[in-house]
């Protein structure tokens, strides 16, 4: 994604000069209520949105009835239901757009004044609703908060970006304390990662506003799954609904060796009879061998036949160490994510397929009663 700072320069609008005269950002009144409106012309999918002054919730507008697009001013309907309120925009003259809002037998006048268009640098083509005049009152910043927690008798630090509840943002990072902080994610690195995640949350909002006329949703959250004297396991959940064709969702696990601060791939704890390692152009991929796959499937929780078949054929898996064993999870397509589950394989059951590094890691995990 494009990196965008909060203090990015703003450029005067020039991209849409030849498009429909009614498109743009407008401010004025719907009855007695102050509103801000964006209307975007597209050949096959013109759209709009508006919000009441003081609110961060946008109400979508879509084309309604017979309209000629660029030439005439189209009618609009709020949301997706046929019986929702309708907008009939009657006249555009000298930068003033007027019309009538209708809901059953109730009518209210609409009077809107054009707002100059400008965008943050890098988003000049993002769409009318991503321009400053519409987005500025909707975008929110976060305050960083840090607190100390404990897991398995080990203390750690979690830093959270606190956004307003209606922003649909969930961002956090894990760090260790004391000497561990210098080996894995120092305070400076922690703040830098949080700043990067917040920038991506802003990008998500602007992209979603430009595409759909609404704020985006983004989760970029870390949780401590296991902390032992020599090991840290972090669960990293990433999901979003920004401007893509579909929302995305992904969960990964990071296994950190605390004495060195290095990230370890637990697949490398398994011998060739348990894992097939393949080197790609940029990374190494791993998949369970038929022997290990059969062990996993035997331990699979009760499920329906369709889910079992999906899991049986899946080649992509994640693995992370628990105090009791290795935990395996299939990386299923989003449409089949309901079939996913975590399967714990106790170390005693997979001891024969652990290599020397794996057995040493397991010994260090179990040495302190974790």
Q: What is the pLDDT of residue 370?
A: 55
pLDDT at 180: 80
Q: Which tokens belong to 323?
A: 């105090």
Per-residue pLDDT reduced to its tens digit, 27-59: 999 999 999 999 998 776 788 999 999 898 999
In this prediction, the residues of the chain whose per-residue pLDDT falls under 70 are: 1-19, 44, 66-71, 245, 280-282, 303-304, 368-370
Query: What is the Cα–Cα distance from 203 to 220, expressed in whole angstroms?
Result: 13
Handedness of CA 104, 105, 108, 112 (dihedral sign): positive
Q: How deeply is 82 buried, as exposed, middle or buried, from its count of CB atoms within 10 A (0-12, 13-18, 19+)? A: exposed
pLDDT at 175: 92
Give the whole-angstrom CA distance, residue 124 versus residue 132: 10
Residue 17's pLDDT is what?
Answer: 40
pLDDT of residue 11: 33
- Rounded to whole angstroms, how far apart are CA atoms 214 and 242? 9
DSSP 193-254: HHHHHHHHHHHHHHHHHHHHSS--EEEEEEEEEEEETTEEEEEEEEEEESSSSS-EEEEEEE
pLDDT of residue 69: 56
All structural domains of the chain, each given as residue ranges with its CATH number in brackets, are: 10-135 (2.40.128), 144-263 (3.30.565), 265-370 (no CATH)
What φ, ψ does residue 275 adopt, rounded to 5°? -145, 145
Please list, in sequence order, all residues whose beta carbon lies within 8 angstroms of the beta carbon of residue 180, skipping any fewer than 6 positions away.
Answer: 258, 261
Give the chain's mean pLDDT.
87
């Amino acid at each position: 994604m494009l990196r965008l700072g909060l203090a990015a320069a703003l450029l005067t609008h020039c991209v849409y000069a030849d498009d429909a005269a009614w498109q743009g950002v407008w401010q004025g009144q719907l009855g007695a209520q102050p509103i801000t409106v964006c209307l975007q012309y597209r050949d096959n999918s013109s759209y709009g949105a508006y919000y009441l002054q003081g609110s961060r919730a946008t109400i979508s507008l879509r084309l309604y009835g017979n309209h000629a697009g660029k030439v005439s001013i189209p009618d609009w309907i709020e949301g997706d239901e046929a019986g929702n309120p309708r907008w009939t925009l009657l006249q555009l003259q000298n930068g003033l757009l007027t019309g009538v809002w209708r809901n059953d037998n109730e009518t209210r006048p609409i009077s809107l004044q054009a707002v100059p268009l400008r965008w943050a640098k890098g988003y000049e083509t993002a769409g009318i609703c991503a321009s400053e005049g519409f987005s500025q009152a909707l975008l929110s910043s976060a305050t960083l908060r840090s607190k100390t927690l404990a897991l398995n008798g080990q203390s750690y630090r979690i830093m959270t970006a606190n956004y307003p509840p209606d922003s649909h943002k969930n961002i956090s990072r894990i760090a260790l304390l004391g000497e561990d902080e210098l080996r894995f994610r120092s305070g400076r690195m922690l703040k830098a990662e949080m700043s990067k995640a917040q920038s991506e949350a802003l990008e998500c909002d602007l992209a979603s506003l430009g595409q759909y006329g609404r704020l985006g949703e983004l989760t970029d959250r870390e949780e401590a799954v296991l902390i032992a004297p020599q090991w840290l396991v972090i669960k990293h959940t990433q999901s979003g609904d920004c401007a893509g064709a579909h929302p995305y969702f992904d969960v990964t696990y990071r296994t950190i060796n605390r004495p060195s601060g290095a990230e370890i791939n637990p697949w490398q704890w398994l011998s060739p009879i348990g894992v097939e390692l393949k080197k790609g152009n940029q990374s190494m991929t791993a998949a369970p061998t038929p022997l290990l796959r059969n062990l996993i499937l035997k331990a699979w929780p009760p499920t329906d036949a369709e889910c079992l078949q999906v899991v049986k054929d899946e080649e992509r898996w994640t693995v992370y160490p628990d105090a009791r064993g290795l935990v395996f999870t299939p990386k299923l397509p989003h449409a089949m994510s309901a079939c996913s589950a975590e399967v714990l394989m106790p170390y005693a059951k997979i001891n024969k397929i652990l290599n020397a590094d794996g057995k040493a890691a397991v010994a260090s995990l179990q040495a302190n009663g974790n």
